[in-house]
Structure 1
Amino acid sequence: MNVGTIRGGANAFRLDALLKLSDIRGADGKTTLLHFVVQEMERSQGSKASDKPSGTSGSCQATLAEREGCSEMGTEFVSELSNELGNVKKVASIDLDTLKSSISNLSRGLARLIRLVGKDLTCNDRNQNFLQCMRSFQTHAENTMLELKVDEAEVLQQVRELTEYYHGEVGKNECNLLHIFVIMRDFLGLLDRVCREMRGSKHMQPLNIVLPLR
């Protein structure tokens, strides 16, 4: 990243920097750097849409109405990002400690069931029908718990790799392993708000990137 600059050679990108885009404001005190980023994304996607054959005479640049249509297409493209990352918002609401605790409780409950089936219930012949049902349930529960633990390990490893990719080495501190999803959820909220503001402004002036920022 940033090859050829004084910050060249970076091997990670911290996503929490995205949240700072809404903190940097232009001279008007209202327009943020995030407004500018969204505007440029809309302009880029609108330009791509204008290059596609529309089946009508002229292009998207032919009339003001067509240009506005291309701009709206760009806005919708940016807004769709929040829908595409909808699962990120769901993951951000998960309490990882509670999830791990639930799996541990299930594992301990299964261990008690195994002891019950293996010792207590086998001592009484009157329990044979119930014992047979419980053994069948035990087999199913053991297979399910094994799959659950494998899935848990795989998911946590993938989240760990994702976090290390964007935030560097995780190390032993995994209490905030899902924090990266919280960051993205907050950023998507900011993005949605900016998109609504820009849609509500019919005559928004283009942001000049040389405006003094504060």
Structure 2
Amino acid sequence: SSKPKERDNEYLKQGLPAVEGLSNEFTNVKKAARIEHDTFINTCSSLGSRVVEIRQLVTRCASSERGGFLKEMKAFLEDCEEELKLEHPLQLFVIVKEFLSMVDRVCADISRNLQKKNGTTSASSPPPLSPPIRSLVKFINLPKQFMSDIRAATYSSESNDSF
């Protein structure tokens, strides 16, 4: 029973830096997700109101105008309304931002729990300093049950030196 626990802890120790690295890899996504979502939604609402006003004006002018301007305005208004129908077009960025925040919190919790476990088993060793900023992670060959197929296992062992 001790061997599987040790193996699980080893996998955690080796995989945690890679998962923590996701946060760094998605820095630009986080920046994009910080767009003021409420302001954007309010702007869309305001544009929708203006489109309604323009449609009313075009409807009033329809009786006197028969030219290409009316036709073009109607097409323009239809395009505007279609574009504004999208509900919360930036919601995906908010979801991604929240997901990455959760990943960061889970990584911190796992690190803290590992430090506590290591602290109880080896009270004499000092606690580790802050984690390194971003180091390259070298993966070991994992057992076959962790691989999606045989080719992935072969590729992993062949390309291990390139990392």
**Higher normalized helix content (fraction of residues):** 2
Provide TM-score, normalisation by structure 1: 0.35
Higher normalized contact order (CA 8 Å, seq sep 6+, divided by chain length): 1
Provide TM-score, normalisation by structure 2: 0.44
